[in-house]
Structure 1
């Protein structure tokens, strides 16, 4: 109707037309989102660590599958199945044939270690170093406080077994088709960032496979070498010492110190000569691992400074518990690869930006 008065639409109270206000709101939203992301990571740190441990497990399975492919030209799925069945067979053998012996030795290990610690405390008191009273509860409480309490879910036997099963299952699923998950993460990124993401993940995968290959080789050499050497010189609980040394070799620096202390304490429990033999075994095994295996692997992976790794282990162990301590080395390696790729990308972009500035 011509005579009808037209209504004029006016902006509502929620519409923001000021460009300055919009920019400031976007900045505030970005900072709030970052704070929420950090808070979510703190709350969900346990599953995040388990997922990363599953990725580490997948890298080991994938590395074994690739290595087997060099000598066995069959499909990837069959090679992965062979690796998984071999791992399962080894675990079954260890439990059935060596489990009872190791269990018996583990039952006496705590008594032997505590007896040696009490002897050291008595020696310190006799030489005027104060009245030192040490018991098993004090040591366990101090260790629990040192390695943090964030990952309390792995503090019990049931929690540790459940976490281990989840890590293995997650690792198998990722190792079956790693490209599927890589494409899924890339799909959530902008198109311009996907090429750089694929390059970075490829380098991370290569580094993680080589790093874990060296770690497994070191565990094997240290475990078997310690076991055979302990048998040769008559150190008690040789099988358990070899197993603990091999397992603790997964944690560089700190694992070697802990295994060395246990080995020397057990050695001196059988006599002074046996204790010196234990010290010699520890030095020889660590020398072989530190000067032969680690440099050989480090040439083809990231070369991490020992102080950097040790600092990360102290920090992540105190904040995130035993999982953070065990995964500190792979986490630092992945961060270094990402930073190196970012520096490389910036270096490639610098000449282009300089040329564009000069032409402008």
Structure 2
């Protein structure tokens, strides 16, 4: 290895190490890029009416802020109130579930007891999981200062990218050789289209899932329908894993009321997911890049392991961007033009 190659290799290793140390900031920057990409479509809409970009950005930011303020003023207080009730009801529900387990053990003959002892371990695991969740929530509240700083960084980056995105895009393109820069610009445009379609479809899907869950839980008279519906809508952002996790809290609360309600809640969520898969997704996700379910699931697990909570929520847009770059650069530009030498 020549001296220049050694220096280049060391520079690459050092760069990767630095990126790994600041991975949370890099993910926040990527999230800002995704949000700025989506909001820029609204800015372009206002520019069609011959409104200058600066004023169009201001209108867009004001609209987003109004929506957030209305959400926090109307919905968040009710969610917080029901979360406090949830904190009181969940231990009682788990205790009742444990009591039913003991009742079954006394009722069923000894030779069949081993088949249902797993339920006791399940309730114990759920109790410890719930306690851990509550403790993590309070830890999250205690670390609210770092969260606020992260949110401020995210907002400032988003606004800066939204006001004047061209220099940042050109700076990224300049990292590539001159002969390939036009091609990189085309790939970036495809990423913008894919991310915009994905976020629009995802937000619409989350809203539909939340509304259907809320109506269904109200009909079944399950406690805390608003919190459970909001949880179902938020977890819809995490494919495969999120919808499965969202059914656990309402099912436990329903089980504390009546066993048939728990089965009804599971059936309700299963039916909602079928409606989503067969009707909602094919309609609202037409412009989204098709992702293999196994790849998406692995991405959620891997990014969650490496990057934590933020990695889970950004797994899908990261996979979308990576898939486009792999398809366009590796497959279309390299492998499809590979000629074997004879």
Q: Distance in 2 between matches of 1:284 and 1:166?
A: 40
Q: Distance in 2 between matches of 1:237 and 1:108?
A: 8
2:161 paired residue number:
174
- Could you say what secondary structure the match of 1:304 adopts? coil
Aligned 1:182-261 pairs, distance under 5 A = 182-261=169-248
Q: Distance in 2 between matches of 1:290 and 1:327?
A: 21
Residue 49 (structure 1) shift: 0.9
Q: Distance in 1 between matches of 2:185 and 2:168?
A: 12
CA contact (8 A) 2:303 2:315 kept: yes
Q: Distance in 1 between matches of 2:70 and 2:209?
A: 20
CA contact (8 A) 2:300 2:315 kept: yes
Q: Distance in 2 between matches of 1:216 and 1:96?
A: 20
1:41 paired residue number:
19
Q: What is the TM-score of this pair, normalised by structure 2?
A: 0.82
Residue 310 (structure 1) shift: 0.6
CA contact (8 A) 1:214 1:293 kept: no
Which of 35, 58, 66 is equivalent to 1:57?
A: 35
Gaps of 5+ in 1: 1-22, 146-151
Structure whose alpha-carbon radius of gyration is higher? 1
Q: Distance in 1 between matches of 2:129 and 2:253?
A: 20
Cα deviation digits, residues 111-158 of structure 1 (max 9, x gap): 33333344445556744426634475655658999xxxxxx9998333
CA contact (8 A) 2:97 2:256 kept: no
Gaps of 5+ in 2: 106-112
**Residue 292 of structure 2 is aligned to residue 305 of structure 1:** yes
**Residue 318 of structure 2 is aligned to residue 331 of structure 1:** yes
Deviating more after overlay: 270-279 vs 322-331 = 270-279
Q: Distance in 2 between matches of 1:179 and 1:156?
A: 36
The Cα RMSD (Å) is: 3.1
2:264 paired residue number:
277
Aligned 1:83-232 pairs, distance under 5 A = 83-121=60-98, 126=105, 127-128=113-114, 129=117, 132=121, 133-134=124-125, 139=130, 141=132, 156-232=143-219
Residue 267 to residue 317, structure 1, CA distance change in 2 (3 Å): same
CA contact (8 A) 1:61 1:172 kept: no
Cα deviation digits, residues 61-118 of structure 1 (max 9, x gap): 224445x559x73535555444433332222222223333221100121333333344
